[in-house]
Amino acid sequence: MDPDFIRQQIAAHEPNIHVVRGDHNLNPGMDPNGPLTPAAVLVPLILRDDGITVLLTQRTEQMAKHPGQISFPGGHVDAIDTDAEATALRETEEEVGLARKHIELIGRLDNYVIRTGFLVTPVVGIVRPPFDIEPDTYEVEEVFEVPMHFLMDAKNHERHSRAFKGQNREFYAMPFNGHYIWGATAGMIVNLHDILNKPRKPVL
């Protein structure tokens, strides 16, 4: 996929503040209770010589929230953060050691509500190698990359289900080379797919 095309599609996307994506999209009635905590993640698109990849992390089992799950680098908004972009860049540096000087921010996906009570703003960034990775070993078990063409192939957007508090819960999943990408992370990837496959607006 061409980086310029990605830039154009993401820049042209206007997140709908009235329609929020989330776990509830596949599970009506499973909205989180109570106030939502603002958070942000970085969706890092790596410009490799053999094609674009997407950087993901696997959280350690000792994390209080979502232990062992695969996620984008990110976290809750701190008072020092001026916006979601600042949160995403700061958390990426803290979690995986990827310096912001390597990241070109190009826009946002739709906000995503997580059942555990977070309102997440996904920020898309293009990353140019070479760069160093120094994961925070308390938070991050592994940092890995997945070819973007795999994640953008709708045939790989599987729908799985499991029992949750006596109810059947459905979610997106994208198993890849022993990694189980699912839940909110997979939902954001589906959102990225939808944005990149929108018809282009005609040039007047």
**Which pLDDT band holds residue 33 (cuts at 50, 70, 90)?**
low
Domain span at residue 103? 3-196
Non-local CB neighbours of 12 within 8 Å, separated by 6+ positions: 198, 201
What is residue 204's predicted lDDT score, i.e. its pLDDT? 47
Strand partners, 162: 169
**Which pLDDT band holds residue 69 (cuts at 50, 70, 90)?**
confident
In a domain, 203, yes or no: no
In a domain, 88, yes or no: yes
- With a pLDDT cut of 70, the percent of the chain lying above it is 86
Average pLDDT over residues 149-161: 95
The per-residue pLDDT of the chain, averaged, comes to: 89
What is residue 202's predicted lDDT score, i.e. its pLDDT? 54
In a domain, 61, yes or no: yes
87-144: pLDDT as tens digits: 999 999 999 999 999 999 999 999 998 877 889 999 999 999 999 999 999 889 999 9
Helix, strand counts (H, E) of the chain: 4, 12
In a domain, 34, yes or no: yes
In a domain, 204, yes or no: no
In a domain, 101, yes or no: yes
Instruction: Indicate if the pLDDT at residue 166 is higher than 80.
Output: no
Strand partners, 180: 175
* CATH classification at residue 174: 3.90.79.10
What is residue 83's predicted lDDT score, i.e. its pLDDT? 96
What is residue 114's predicted lDDT score, i.e. its pLDDT? 87
Lowest mean pLDDT: which of 12-26, 107-121, 147-161? 12-26
**Which pLDDT band holds residue 165 (cuts at 50, 70, 90)?**
low
DSSP 159: E
- With a pLDDT cut of 90, the percent of the chain lying above it is 69
Q: For residue 171, what is the enclosing H or E element?
A: strand 167-176
> Rounded to whole angstroms, how far apart are CA atoms 15 and 127?
22
Strand 112-114 to 167-176 pairing: unpaired
Instruction: Indicate if the pLDDT at residue 66 is higher than 60.
Output: no
In a domain, 98, yes or no: yes
Instruction: Indicate if the pLDDT at residue 199 is higher than 90.
Output: no
In a domain, 66, yes or no: yes
Helix/strand/coil for 137: coil
Provide the H-helix boundaries in 100-158: 148-151
**Which pLDDT band holds residue 21 (cuts at 50, 70, 90)?**
confident
Domains identified in the chain, total number = 1
Instruction: Indicate if the pLDDT at residue 17 is higher than 80.
Output: no
